[in-house]
Structure 1
Amino acid sequence: GRVGFMELDVFLGSDYLVTIQKGKLKPMRDFYYKMQNSAGYRKTCFGESAGYLLYRILDVLYKDTRSITNYVSKKLRDLEDEVYEDESKESTAKRIAYLRRKILGLKRIFDPQNEVLSDLSQLKAKFLAEDLNVYFDDIDDYVEKVVNFLENQKYVLKDLLEVHDSLITHTRA
């Protein structure tokens, strides 16, 4: 499976929110569809403020990233099984390196987002109600967990590669 990423640019003011995306983000498309077809959902999202609407959009987008952590977890479990079930081959090292590369790429994406969300959760702006900080803090906490998860998986892969190399060397001896 492939995991794709797209950029969403946001402009926020006291009474407006503009989002610009290049390409199609499925979670955004689903969000807009739900807004069009559910008066209750539309009222909930638009009923507060532009800042609250931004929170709802970010919440939808970050909930969609769970598929990324699930993908990484599954691939890592598969590699662990391969290494520990005597099915380890030299090509396993390539797959370990490939997954590690994907994780490093994900970290390059999530690390800056973690900083932006941390700043947003502590932002004191006249157009962003202070009670929204708690909502943005929730998203920031989630992204921080993803960053920590990716960091941990990077170390697990490093250790797994060492075990794999040791087993390959031992098998050849």
Structure 2
Amino acid sequence: MISIDLCDGKITQGDIAPERISEFLLSAGNTPETAQNTPGRHSKASSPKATKASRPTLWVDVSSPTEDDWKALEEEFDFHHLALEDARKQNQRPKVDSYEGYLFLSVHAWSGATKPTDDLEAVTHEIDIFLGPNYLVTIHNEVNGPIDETRRRLQQNPEHLRSEPGFLLYLLLDALVDEYFPAMDELDTEIDRVEMVIYESNDIPDFKPAVLLKKRLLLLRQAVSPLRDVINQLLRIDNPILISPETRVFYQDVYDHTLRLVEQVDLHRDIMGGVMDVLMSQTSNRLNQVMKTLTGISTILMSAALIAGIYGMNFKNMPELNWQNGYFMALGLMAAMATTLVLYFKKIKWF
């Protein structure tokens, strides 16, 4: 389904028919002199001297695209077939590809982990983006939180768009990055709870919560780190028509947020590494204690078995065989030896 919004810096007009894409692209101030800057029929960049206020921004959002939607994008914007192929194929690594006159981006938004066996594809969803001089095209399959949040911001404050698609892209990336912070806060709370249980409880430690948290931190790291690289690459693109110097500073702010996320993930991974070491140490200590207890019990039983074995031998010339109190003597000797061993083991703190 194709949803189209048009903003001229004063108001945002929505529910535009897809058939009118050509009309708005052609009315964006393109001239024959600037047509050579871009290979697309309708994606020609305006001259740098053109006034940005005279060029409204067209946002084309495609949700769960059908074959007709792909055909419409190809016909209206004339995107490169490699870019369209990347947009069609999901689970791409986040990246930025520069084409003549526009950029293609692939980024991942956080959707949340629900199962211990979730992988990166299950906890994120892909958003493919085309950024042109007067348009932004977003393509995604699922109901998308960052897209909805960006549309809400755009409708409430259309004057913030600056009549520039690069700023609309900043709003989208900012909403996308912001969705990672609640997940990070939730993991932070869970890590504190696991630490408290481990350090304050005398019960046998449970490895499952710690292993699950460590895996989710790894998934966050896999999602955030490439996103940081994408935004860093956008900061290095020297194309004032697509991203103006005035807008670049906003990208720096989003980049700082991704750096903070990566640093938090790395810090919590180190903390979880320490927690796992403590769990292993506690388990090892508990195992050592159990082994010492079993060794002590085995030594006591072996001593009793030694006495029983000696007096259980069937030799005729054993003096104690016909002794009237021999049975009680053997039991007393077993009890005395067992008591001695128990006292010794308590002294060396085996019991």
Same fold (TM over 0.5): yes
Map Cα deviations across residues 11-63 of structure 1 (whole Å, 9 max, x no partner).
00111111111101223223324534x3xx12322x33000111111112212
For 1:6, the equivalent position in structure 2 comes to 125
C-alpha change, 1:79 and 1:17, in structure 2 (3 Å) is same
In the superposition, the TM-score normalised over structure 1's length comes to 0.87
Is the Cα–Cα contact under 8 Å of residues 122 and 133 in structure 1 kept in the other structure? no
Structure 1, unaligned runs of 5 or more: none
* 2:134 pairs with 1:15: yes
How many angstroms apart in 2 are the aligned matches of 1:128 and 1:106?
A: 28
* 2:168 pairs with 1:53: yes
CA shift for structure 1 position 108: 1.0
Map Cα deviations across residues 116-156 of structure 1 (whole Å, 9 max, x no partner).
11111221113221222211111011101111111111111
C-alpha change, 1:43 and 1:87, in structure 2 (3 Å) is farther
1:154-165 pair list within 5 angstroms:
154-165=269-280
For 1:123, the equivalent position in structure 2 comes to 237
C-alpha change, 1:34 and 1:143, in structure 2 (3 Å) is closer
Aligned AA for 1:157?
M
1:43-122 pair list within 5 angstroms:
43-45=159-161, 47-86=162-201, 88-90=203-205, 92-122=206-236
2:143 to 3, 24, 39: 24
Is the Cα–Cα contact under 8 Å of residues 149 and 175 in structure 2 kept in the other structure? no
Superposition RMSD in Å: 1.7
Aligned AA for 1:42?
P
CA shift for structure 1 position 88: 5.0
Q: How many correspondences in the alignment?
A: 167
Decide which structure has the larger Cα Rg and report it: 2
Looking at secondary structure, tell me which structure has more strand per residue.
Answer: 2
Identity of aligned residues (%): 21
How many angstroms apart in 1 are the aligned matches of 2:146 and 2:242?
A: 26
Aligned AA for 1:101?
K
C-alpha change, 1:82 and 1:29, in structure 2 (3 Å) is same
For 1:153, the equivalent position in structure 2 comes to 268
Looking at secondary structure, tell me which structure has more helix per residue.
Answer: 1
How many angstroms apart in 1 are the aligned matches of 2:229 and 2:202?
A: 41
Structure 2, unaligned runs of 5 or more: 1-111, 114-122, 290-351
Query: Which stretch shows the higher mean deviation, 162-171 or 134-143?
Result: 162-171
For 2:35, the equivalent position in structure 1 comes to none
CA shift for structure 1 position 81: 0.8
